[in-house]
Amino acid sequence: MMQAVMPPRDPMVPDVYRVSRAQSELAGVVTLEVEPVSGNRPAGLPGQFNMLYAMGIGEVAISISGETPRGFVHTIRAVGAVSGALAGMEEGAVLGLRGPYGTGWPVAEAEGSDVVFVAGGLGLAPLRPAIEAVLAARERYGRVTILAGCRSPREILFRHQLEHWRQRLDVEVQVTVDHADTEWRGNVGVVPSLIRRAAFDPDDTYAFICGPEVMMRFSATALQEANLPAERTFLSMERNMKCAIGLCGHCQFGPSFICKDGPVMALDRIAGILAMREI
């Protein structure tokens, strides 16, 4: 008997996932744990992203902020119709998911070196799986530094996790805020100012930066001034994305497609256009 031949899976069709846990992080920021309704989730790398679909509303690219044995973790800020719908989801809610897509943080490549994580605002979310991977194999790395900046003390993402990491004796954690309140006794100022004070060996360090583009640009400059080579400085870029598989053209950044050549990109590949307006 002839077997029906299944057509190749259309990469534009999402799989169906269910929210297994929803946790409020900050005002308008929610972390969702999602699991496939049937079968196993595909493997993902720290730094990659998924396309999340809210029924009838649309799809957005969201970085992976962690993983569970059966699912992915995504941290979402409600800024538009789709992210608002996703951020409003509660346990049991059903959504579509395609991915993971894109490049990851070169966590394995960085073994044996110092690692500096530089996060701005929600940029800590895509860095968290990389931080966890490094800390899970802590003995394979040199000095590990986490530098996080945010607007105000009330907007520190993953505050408990940062405190947990800070309690370890083998990780340097520095947090800075743009605007302090009366209770805040920590650093005040932008993240690049922390880079100038951080201890790492510029000849043998990997830097992973994620945050708003302007923050990443100034952080990259501060790292360059600290003599860190551009080919070991990595940024997670963001552009409009419709397909996530290199077919829709939206995410172009010079000759690169952020969806497949990124989002994680080495600074030396993009340094020429990073500071250029409206590229």
Partner 1 sequence: MQRDSADTAGLVIDPLGLQALIERLASMGFRVVGPALRDDAVVYDDITGIGDLPQGWTDRQEPGRYRLERRQDDALFGYAVGPHSWKKFLFPPVETLWSARWDDKGGMAISPPETSQDKFAFIGVRGCELHAMAIQDRVLAEGDHANATYAARRQEAFIVAVNCGQAGGTCFCVSMETGPKVESGFDLALTELLDGGEHRFLVEIGSDAGAQVMEEVPSAPASAVQIEAAAAVVERTAGQMGRSLDTNGIKELLQGNLEHPRWDEVAERCLTCANCTMVCPTCFCTTVEDHSDLTNQSAERVRKWDSCFTMDFSYVHGGSVRSSTRSRYRQWMTHKLANWIDQFGTSGCVGCGRCVTWCPVGIDITEEAAAIRATPGGKGEA
Max intra-chain CA distance, the chain: 77
Binding mask 244-263 for partner 1 (x = CB under 8 A): -xxxxxx-x-xx-x--x---
Residues forming a β-bridge with 146:
117, 173
Binding status of residue 238 toward partner 1 by CB under 8 A: yes
Is residue 214 at the binding interface for partner 1, with CB under 8 A as the rule? Answer: no
How remote is the C-alpha of 246 from its chain's centroid?
A: 20
Q: Does 16 interact with partner 1 (rule: CB under 8 A)?
A: yes
- Segment lying near partner 1 (by CB under 8 A), choices 20-28, 57-65, 112-120, 163-171: 57-65
Q: Which residues in 81-140 contact partner 1 (CB under 8 A)? A: 94-96
Instruction: Please give the structure tokens belonging to residue 250.
Output: 């939206």
Does the footprint of partner 1 cover residue 33 (CB under 8 A)? no
Q: Taking each helix axis from N to C terminus, what angle separates 213-225 and 267-274, rounded to the nearest 10 degrees?
A: 110
The residues, ordered by sequence, that sit 6+ positions from 138 with a Cβ below 8 Å of its Cβ are: 144, 170
What's the rounded Cα separation, in Å, for the pair 97 and 237?
A: 21
Give, in order, the Cα–Cα distances in Å from 112 to each of 38, 109, 167, 265. Answer: 39, 8, 23, 21
Pair 73, 33: CB distance under 8 Å: yes
Closest CB 23 distance from partner 1, rounded Å: 22
Which of 69, 92 has the CB closer to partner 1? 92
Part of the chain binding partner 1 (CB under 8 A), chosen from 50-58, 153-161, 199-207, 219-227: 50-58
Nearer to partner 1, 88 or 254 (CB): 254
Interface ranges with partner 1 (CB under 8 A):
7-8, 10-14, 16, 37, 55-59, 79-80, 94-96, 238-240, 242-243, 245-250, 252, 254-255, 257, 260, 271-273, 276-279
